[in-house]
Amino acid sequence: MLIITRKVGEIISIGDSIEVKILDIKGRQVRIGIDAPNNVQIYRKEIYLKILEENKKAANILPEHLHEISLIWDNKKE
Amino acid sequence: MIFESKNFGTLNIEDKNIVLFVDGLIGFCELKKVIIITPQEDTPFRWLQSLDNPEIVFAIINPLLFFPDYKIKITKADIDLIEAKTLEDIQIYTIVTIPDNFSKLTANLLGPIIINANKCKAKQIVVDNSSYSTKHLLLSDSR
């Protein structure tokens, strides 16, 4: 991992099209501004990982589940 | 095409019904082609069957049926990616997780799926709103 020390207001360029600017530092929190092309996806990593984990859990449906949850729906409607 | 699915048996799929996840699903980047199966029963559930892996199928719902206040922000880049021209082109689904206790079905409101059915393109997006989680109970006792 490349490690760079920056002050508030300073910028890191990544390639030709991405800039990361340190906007503010308060205690243990850093505010960061990112300029990147539209097609570059920027996520908070912990959210991305939560979705990934939930997708893995949701992917393994058994045939009986399919039937079962339809029944649950029927019961709830009544 | 003829497709042998694990849960639905042999499916005869027309090309126009194949939806492409341009970036794959999160955590399943190799899974790009899917079809959406509407069950015969009267149910809000749809099945998102992967065509790249016959074993993988997700239960999905229109989140607004269960969470009428659900709101997400879709970026211009994502709208362009699925080639939507207007908001009406975009359908929103969320994936449902089925736990051992079936009555505790949850919807993942943090990672909804946006689909442009006209162009058969889809994407799972990451919602940047801390009031949503990956586990919203679908059927609370009060319903």
Please work out, in degrees rounded to the nearest 5, the angle formed at the alpha carbon of residue A13 by the alpha carbons of A9 and A14. 145
* pLDDT higher than 70, residue B17: yes
Q: How many domains does chain B have?
A: 1
Gap between the Cα atoms of B75 and B81, Å rounded: 10
What 3-state class would DSSP assign to A71? helix
Question: pLDDT tens digit string along B109-136?
Answer: 999 999 999 999 999 999 987 789 999 9
CATH number of the domain bearing residue B20: 2.30.290.10
Look at B59 and A68 and tell me if their CB atoms are within 8 Å: no
CB-based contact (8 Å) between B52 and chain A? no
* Confidence (pLDDT) at A78: 58
CA of B43 vs chain A CAs: smallest distance (Å): 6
Look at A51 and B27 and tell me if their CB atoms are within 8 Å: yes
CB atoms near residue B62 (< 10 Å): 15
Gap between the Cα atoms of B7 and A16, Å rounded: 48
Rounded to two decimals, the ipTM of the complex is 0.90
pTM of the model: 0.88
Question: What domain range is B109 assigned to?
Answer: 2-142
Look at A69 and B59 and tell me if their CB atoms are within 8 Å: yes
